[in-house]
C-alpha cells in the first residue's frame, strides 16, 4: 500500500474514532416539567414507572402542576431533617431557573419516610425536551428514574434505592423524557450525564476516505 493511500485511509478512520470519543456532559436546556406530590405511598407505589406516575396524577389527594425548567439536570439535597421543599430541590439545579411553578406547590415537602409503613411522601417529576439527539446516559440518582424516547421506555432503574449510577443506552433521538421520583426523605439526587453518539456523522467521512482510496487504486491500475 502506498504512503498516499495509507494517509487517506488513516485520516478517514481517525475521523470516526475521534468522533466516537465525545466526552460526557450534563444534559441541559429548557425542559417542560410535570410535578406530582402525593402522601402515604408504599415502596411499590413510589417506583418510577409511568403507571405509578399516571396513578398519582389521578389520585384526588395529589397536588400537581406544570412548569418549565431551564438549566442542567443536576440536582441534589441532603437534609437529614427531610425539610427540603420542591422549590428548594429545584433551586439546586446548576445554572437553573424555574418559570410557572405555583408557589403553593413549590412549598410542599419534597419527600419523607416511612416507605416501609406505606406512609411516605413522594414527588414525581417528568422532564421532557423535544429535539434531543442520540445519546447514551449515565444517571446518578437516588430512588427511581427512567428515560423515555418519544414516550417509549428506553431503560432506567425503578427504585426506590440509595444513591447509585445507572447507565442507559438506546436513546436514538427525539423527545427526551425522564421520570424521577423523590421519596422516603433526603438525599434526593438526580444528575444526568449525557454523551452524544456521533458515529453516524462520522460514517460519511469514512465513505469519503474509502472513495478516495478507490480512486487512487484506479489511477494505479490505469498507469
pLDDT bin (cut points 50, 70, 90) of residue 14 is very low
Q: What is the per-residue pLDDT across 139-155, written as a single tens digit (0 to 9) for each?
A: 999 999 999 999 999 99
From 79, 24, 80, 140, select the one nearest 91 (Cα to Cα). 79
pLDDT bin (cut points 50, 70, 90) of residue 49 is very high
Q: What angle do CA 71, 150, 141 make, to 5 degrees?
A: 50
Q: What is the per-residue pLDDT across 52-94, written as a single tens digit (0 to 9) for each?
A: 999 999 999 999 999 999 999 999 999 999 999 999 999 999 9
Q: What is the per-residue pLDDT across 159-202, written as a single tens digit (0 to 9) for each?
A: 999 999 999 999 999 999 999 999 999 999 999 999 999 755 44
Whether residue 220 is predicted with pLDDT greater than 90 in this model: the reply is: no
If you count them, how many residues does the chain have? 223
From 85, 80, 188, 69, select the one nearest 140 (Cα to Cα). 188
pTM of the entire structure?
A: 0.81
Whether residue 103 is predicted with pLDDT greater than 80 in this model: the reply is: yes
109 - beta bridge partners? Answer: 85
What is the rounded distance in angstroms from the CA atom of residue 159 to the CA atom of residue 22? Answer: 30
Amino acid at each position: 500500500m502506498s504512503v498516499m493511500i495509507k494517509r487517506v485511509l488513516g485520516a478517514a478512520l481517525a475521523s470516526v474514532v475521534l468522533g466516537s470519543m465525545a466526552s460526557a456532559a450534563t444534559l441541559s436546556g429548557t425542559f417542560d416539567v410535570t410535578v406530582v406530590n402525593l402522601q402515604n405511598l408504599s415502596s411499590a407505589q413510589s417506583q418510577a414507572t409511568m403507571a405509578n406516575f399516571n396513578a398519582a396524577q389521578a389520585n384526588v389527594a395529589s397536588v400537581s402542576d406544570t412548569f418549565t425548567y431551564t438549566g442542567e439536570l443536576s440536582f441534589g439535597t441532603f437534609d437529614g431533617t427531610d425539610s427540603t421543599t420542591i422549590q428548594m430541590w429545584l433551586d439546586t439545579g446548576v445554572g437553573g431557573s424555574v418559570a410557572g411553578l405555583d408557589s403553593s406547590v413549590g412549598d410542599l415537602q419534597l419527600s419523607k419516610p416511612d416507605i416501609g409503613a406505606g406512609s411516605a411522601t413522594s414527588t414525581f417529576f417528568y422532564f421532557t425536551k423535544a429535539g434531543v439527539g442520540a445519546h447514551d446516559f449515565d444517571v446518578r440518582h437516588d430512588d427511581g428514574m427512567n428515560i423515555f424516547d418519544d414516550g417509549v421506555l428506553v431503560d432506567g432503574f425503578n427504585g426506590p434505592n440509595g444513591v447509585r449510577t445507572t447507565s442507559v443506552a438506546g436513546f436514538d433521538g427525539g423527545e427526551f423524557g425522564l421520570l424521577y421520583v423523590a421519596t422516603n426523605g433526603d438525599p434526593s439526587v438526580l444528575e444526568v450525564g449525557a454523551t452524544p453518539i456521533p458515529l453516524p456523522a462520522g460514517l460519511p467521512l469514512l465513505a469519503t476516505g474509502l472513495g478516495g482510496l478507490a480512486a487512487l487504486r484506479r489511477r494505479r491500475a490505469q498507469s
